[in-house]
């Protein structure tokens, strides 16, 4: 039987803080739509899914699971609560991902391309272990290794927040902090991921610091709705 060597490892850090409750159904649906689209695109990916909140900054729901075997989020597995320890969540996942990458290298296994996604509706407010400076250093080192980062944020200046810990401007999007906005954000993320997967498969050069390549549909949606409200 032929096995498919993973070409991309998607690390997904999902905000489960209490403020996400206002769009819980759309986040569940949007995430599941993202997974479905990646499954349809091919089996050459694996996913690690971590959700975080003030009670648990690092709950692992999937650990390097083949994209074909990813289980959907449900109301039982995604229950918003607590504050937003964003730095702690990112720090733990970056540390775990780095260890995995180094172990694969030591074992002479094929190197994985890495996409590190952060999806949140609020800024940092509860971390105890990591600071933004530490996250900045980790992100910069991994970006130099070729890792891709994507940061999607609502109810904040996502650029100000993400650039503080090293994510490049081309890999950041603001989105409207409601059900419609989160749906568009997941769709935009999915399109960009499929685009990068195609380039990786075909050995096409791409800029790992420009994940969205200018196609920021969630941000365009936010701007359109903000403009309409201003009249």
- Mean predicted lDDT score pLDDT of the chain: 94
**What crossing angle do the helices spanning 217-230 and 179-201 adopt, rounded to 10°?**
150
pLDDT (tens digit, 9 = 90+) per residue, 2-25?
555 669 999 999 999 999 999 999
Q: What is the pTM of this model?
A: 0.95
Homologous superfamily, domain 8-230: von Willebrand factor, type A domain (3.40.50.410)
pLDDT (tens digit, 9 = 90+) per residue, 39-72?
999 999 999 999 999 999 999 999 999 999 999 9
Task: Give me the residue spans of the domains in the chain.
Answer: 8-230
Task: Please give the pLDDT value at position 231.
Answer: 44
pLDDT (tens digit, 9 = 90+) per residue, 103-129?
999 999 988 999 999 999 988 888 999
pLDDT (tens digit, 9 = 90+) per residue, 205-222?
999 999 999 999 999 999
Alpha-carbon gap, residue 215 to 48, rounded angstroms: 25
Closest CA to 165 of 72, 88, 112: 88
pLDDT (tens digit, 9 = 90+) per residue, 155-207?
999 999 999 999 999 999 999 999 999 999 999 999 999 999 999 999 999 99
pLDDT (tens digit, 9 = 90+) per residue, 19-35?
999 999 999 999 999 99
Task: Please give the pLDDT value at position 228.
Answer: 63
- Contact partners, residue 189, CB within 8 Å, separation at least 6: 34, 117, 119, 150, 152
């Amino acid at each position: 039987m032929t096995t498919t060597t993973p070409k991309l490892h998607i690390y997904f850090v999902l905000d489960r803080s209490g403020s996400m409750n206002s769009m819980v159904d759309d986040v569940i649906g949007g995430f599941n739509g993202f997974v479905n689209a990646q499954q349809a695109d091919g089996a050459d990916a694996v996913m690690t899914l971590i959700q975080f909140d003030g009670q648990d900054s690092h709950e692992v729901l999937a650990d390097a699971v083949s994209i074909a075997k990813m289980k959907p989020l449900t109301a039982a597995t995604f229950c918003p609560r607590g504050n937003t320890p964003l730095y702690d969540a990112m720090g733990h996942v970056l540390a775990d991902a780095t260890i995995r990458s180094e172990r694969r290298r030591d074992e002479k296994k094929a190197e994985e391309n890495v996409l590190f996604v952060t999806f949140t509706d609020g800024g940092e407010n509860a971390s105890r272990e990591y600071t933004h400076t530490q996250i900045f250093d980790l992100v910069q080192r991994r970006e130099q290794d070729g890792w891709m980062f994507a940061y999607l944020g609502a109810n904040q200046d996502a650029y100000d927040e993400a650039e503080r810990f090293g994510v490049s401007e081309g890999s950041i999007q603001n989105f409207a902090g409601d059900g419609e906005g989160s749906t568009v954000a997941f769709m935009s993320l999915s399109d960009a991921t499929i685009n990068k997967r195609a380039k990786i498969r075909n050995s096409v050069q791409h800029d790992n610091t420009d994940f969205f390549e200018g196609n920021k549909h969630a941000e365009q949606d936010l701007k359109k709705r903000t403009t309409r409200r201003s009249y």
